[in-house]
Amino acid sequence: MTAPRSDDHEGHIQSDDLREMRNVRGGRPGDRYVKVVEPFATEFRRRAPGHLVASEAVLEPTGGVGRLADLLRRALIGRRIASEKELGERIGPFKGLAIFASDNISSSAYATEEIMRVVVVAGAGALAATLPLTMAIVVVLLIVVTSYQQTIRAYPSGGGSYLVASDNLGIGPGLTAAAALLTDYVLTVAVSVAAGVAALTSIFPFLFEQRVLVGVAFIALLWIGNLRGLRESANLFAIPTYIYLVAIFGLLGYGLFLAATGSLPTYHAPPGWADAAPLEGLGIVLILRAFAAGSVALTGTEAVSNGVQAFRAPEARNAGIVLILMGSLFATIFLGISFLASQLGVVPDPSERQTVISQITGTLVGAGTPFHYLIQLSTAFLLILAANTAFAGFPRLASILGKDRFLPRQFQYRGDRLAYSVGIMVLAVLAAVLLIGFKGSVTALIPLYTVGVFIAFTLSQTGMVRHWWTRRNEVRGWRWRAVLNGAGAVATGVVAIIVGIVKFAFGAWMVLLLIPLLIGLMWAIGKHYRSVERALAVDWTSPALPRRIAPRVVVPVSRLDRATLNALAFAASIATDVTAIHVSDEPDDVARMKADWERWGGPVNLVILESPYRALIAPMLAYLDATDRADPAQPTTVVLPEFVPNHIWEYPLHNQTALRLKLRLFFRRNTVVVDVPYHLS
């Protein structure tokens, strides 16, 4: 096979070679591709000369352990899906509501309660402020929903805050929105799971002690569920969403009927809950704090516009329907629960063991009745599904950021089922850490939440105003569109400022610290990738390969054995300047090595480096540096003899020094490392 070689091969390849190779690449009949392709029948299809398509067979595991792992993987996350099958994975409004609106709707499970937890500081009497505050928040919600309808129309391929902000306002605001959203997604998972567990512990009090563990288990389930892919996740959860809607509207209808007929039962707060003297009056600060706490109700509103591309065509229309449905359903539930809580005079449980909804249900239909269980279980399921929304959003946003080179490329990689595996893993781990850190308490987590959401809202809506302005000559009615989005931007901006200020000391500072750090990190990553891109860009004018000076080849040898000879043979086959180096930490060893080398008498010269301080790597590197100084232009090639044992468990018994040497050499300039493994036959 080996063609005659001449000295010229060390530098530019000759024109004869070039012509021959080009012909080959052209794919002439009878060229060497034909020979190469033949045996591939099972693993590859040939699409064009030099262009093969791998079949699923190349992924078949070999060996018992591999097959077992594959079986387990299939059982957990299902069969692999080919990239080209992706289009079939899209969803309609019915499932879309389950997967994208659940985040927002599920906020009704705790929004009322979080308002009450703030106003109750001013005494049980101040709880009357809950309903007016709810109404104020619903007004903001309606503005935001109207505003986002425009975003969906303007960005039918998916208009997340990052995209809209960077598209219209530039990369700074874009990264700010992205950082705010990433933080928010993590908090969505932590808060929703914590609230879901709280809904469960309201009916199963024995779970209360284990609430962190139960929460982490739910996150693990979401992880696996999402590796299965988008449509399946929706199937997994669609039914509980609709059960929740039916159950909660049943409860509200029944409650309103009782209220209208003046036959509401009497609620008795357990002793101690409402007896405490008011800590302060119901001033403006407390009202703003309660408003900020309740504005958690708006989280999840942006989910639909982020995920337009997940909908079936017509994407924008389907997404718009879901957004309107979501807004109306949520507003109704939120108002209804706040109304019933006020009418009954419910007091929030200071120990977080009973949710407000659980208390309302217990009062209206009786604690421990089947309907009470139904409300609590479907609430819990809905909240888990809300966390699932973040599992759809975070990985998608991270993959976009990865594609734009603001996050590591790995976030772009899609796993066996087309899910962004890395993003899903990162989200699950961060949310679990947060849940553990805050001991699973919703009220402790809430102050961190919402700041990020409203920053992203504001930037996105401001971006939309700019969007209409730049298109003022193309789009009819751009004025009222800009006004609508402007109203959204102002409303969410004001809320963002309120939330940032009143929640600052309670935990929002962490998020307000984290967001700039994340922006800085993404900016640094982007800068790095771009500078590398520039540095690696090819000079297209010259097809010649860079000229290489023949290297100085060094073979570290620990002793003279077949693995060593194998490496020496490889070294001799690629160069004439080959030196074997033996680092020795004891005199006996020096003598033995010298004797062995003399006895062998082979055609390679040996340098022995005695190391009185017993280090093995440092003398080798010092030697290479010293020879470099003698001739700095000549590159170094280090050929490493490595012994590969038959079983993986035997590996730690060998090659430890080679491994450390390899790591050090990797960072050494002008040095090529060649691994010559020697397998036992």
Site residues for a second copy, 499-528, by CB under 8 A, read 525, 528
**In whole angstroms, what is the distance from residue 241 CA to residue 544 CA?**
63
70 binds a second copy (CB under 8 A): no
Minimal distance, residue 8 CB to a second copy, in Å: 10
Cβ proximity to a second copy, 274 vs 560, nearer residue: 560
Q: What Å distances lie between residue 99 and 53, 235, 305, 417, CA to CA? A: 34, 9, 13, 18
Q: Which of residues 147-166 bind a second copy (CB under 8 A)?
A: none
Cβ proximity to a second copy, 242 vs 529, nearer residue: 529
Q: Which of residues 331-390 bind a second copy (CB under 8 A)?
A: none
Minimal distance, residue 548 CB to a second copy, in Å: 5
CB 488 within 8 A of CB 145: no
262 binds a second copy (CB under 8 A): no
Minimal distance, residue 84 CB to a second copy, in Å: 6
Minimal distance, residue 170 CB to a second copy, in Å: 24
CB 464 within 8 A of CB 161: no
74 binds a second copy (CB under 8 A): no
- What is the per-residue binding string for a second copy in 273-312, x denoting contact by CB under 8 A? ----------------------------------------
Cβ proximity to a second copy, 48 vs 75, nearer residue: 48
Binder of a second copy out of 453, 611, 636, 660 (CB under 8 A): 611
Cβ proximity to a second copy, 153 vs 654, nearer residue: 654
Strand 636-644, strand 51-54: pairing: unpaired
Say whether the peptide bond before residue 205 is cis (omega within 30 degrees of 0). no
610 binds a second copy (CB under 8 A): yes
613 binds a second copy (CB under 8 A): yes
Helical residues (DSSP H) of 107-129, grouped into ranges: 111-119
- What is the per-residue binding string for a second copy in 578-597, x denoting contact by CB under 8 A? -------xx---x---x-x-
**In whole angstroms, what is the distance from residue 222 CA to residue 278 CA?**
42
Binder of a second copy out of 4, 271, 368, 477 (CB under 8 A): 4
The first and second tokens of residue 450, run together, are: 């919402």
232 binds a second copy (CB under 8 A): no
**In whole angstroms, what is the distance from residue 414 CA to residue 421 CA?**
6
Cβ proximity to a second copy, 350 vs 602, nearer residue: 602
CB 398 within 8 A of CB 423: yes
Minimal distance, residue 399 CB to a second copy, in Å: 13
Cβ proximity to a second copy, 207 vs 581, nearer residue: 581
Give the CA dihedral 503, 505, 511, 516, nearest 10 degrees: 120
Binder of a second copy out of 142, 561, 660, 663 (CB under 8 A): 561
Binder of a second copy out of 28, 403, 479, 548 (CB under 8 A): 548
535 binds a second copy (CB under 8 A): yes
Closest CA to 308 of 411, 392, 213, 212: 392
Binder of a second copy out of 28, 54, 328, 353 (CB under 8 A): 54
Minimal distance, residue 382 CB to a second copy, in Å: 33
Cβ proximity to a second copy, 341 vs 554, nearer residue: 554
Question: Which residues contact residue 600 at a Cβ distance below 8 angstroms, ignoring those fewer than 6 apart?
Answer: 560
CB 637 within 8 A of CB 672: yes
Secondary structure class of 579 (helix, strand, coil): strand
619 binds a second copy (CB under 8 A): yes
Angle between helices 230-260 and 211-227 (to 10 degrees): 130
Secondary structure class of 439 (helix, strand, coil): coil
Cβ proximity to a second copy, 54 vs 367, nearer residue: 54
Binder of a second copy out of 177, 286, 606, 661 (CB under 8 A): 606
**In whole angstroms, what is the distance from residue 566 CA to residue 560 CA?**
10
Q: Which of residues 407-466 bind a second copy (CB under 8 A)?
A: 408-410, 413-416
Long-range contacts of 557-564 (CB under 8 A, 24+ apart): 557/581, 557/582, 557/606, 557/641, 558/582, 558/657, 559/593, 559/596, 560/593, 560/596, 560/597, 560/600, 562/678, 563/641, 563/642, 563/643, 563/676, 563/678, 564/641
**In whole angstroms, what is the distance from residue 465 CA to residue 460 CA?**
9
Minimal distance, residue 466 CB to a second copy, in Å: 30
538 binds a second copy (CB under 8 A): yes
**In whole angstroms, what is the distance from residue 45 CA to residue 41 CA?**
7
**In whole angstroms, what is the distance from residue 511 CA to residue 521 CA?**
15
Binder of a second copy out of 28, 36, 268, 469 (CB under 8 A): 36
Cβ proximity to a second copy, 473 vs 576, nearer residue: 576
Contact region with a second copy (CB under 8 A), list: 206-214, 275-283, 295-303, 620-628: 620-628
Contact region with a second copy (CB under 8 A), list: 126-134, 210-218, 365-373, 564-572: 564-572
**In whole angstroms, what is the distance from residue 100 CA to residue 300 CA?**
8
Cβ proximity to a second copy, 497 vs 609, nearer residue: 609
CB 347 within 8 A of CB 273: yes
612 binds a second copy (CB under 8 A): yes
**In whole angstroms, what is the distance from residue 326 CA to residue 299 CA?**
12
486 binds a second copy (CB under 8 A): no
Cβ proximity to a second copy, 207 vs 574, nearer residue: 574
Angle at 318 between CA 138 and CA 237, to 5 degrees: 75
